[in-house]
Amino acid sequence: MAEGVVLTVIGMTVVFAFLILLVCVMYTISLVARVLPSVGPGAGHTTAAESEVAIAIAIAHAHARMDEMEQEQ
């Protein structure tokens, strides 16, 4: 009986220590996230020219697929 109680106390202590460690790590990460900038300069912003290039690529791809489908028929 005493061995079961000791094992239970050890198990609960290990779980409690892990949870405390987890909370400390999460708190530290939140502090680091506040200090560091979230996005580098220009990393999250696209210009109009980049958007136009992306649209042109999509249109060219669609035309190429349509040409392939017409040739198969």
- 22-59 pLDDT, tens digit each: 999 999 999 998 888 766 655 566 678 888 999 999 99
- Is residue 43 in some structural domain? no
What's the mean per-residue pLDDT of the chain?
89
- Is residue 20 in some structural domain? yes
**Which structural domain, as residue segments, surrounds residue 63?**
2-35+48-72
pTM above 0.75, yes or no: no
Please state the domain count of the chain: 1
Question: Predicted confidence band at 73 (pLDDT cuts at 50, 70, 90)?
Answer: confident
d(CA 18, CA 24): 10
The half-sphere exposure of 67 on its side-chain side, counting CA atoms within 13 A, is 6
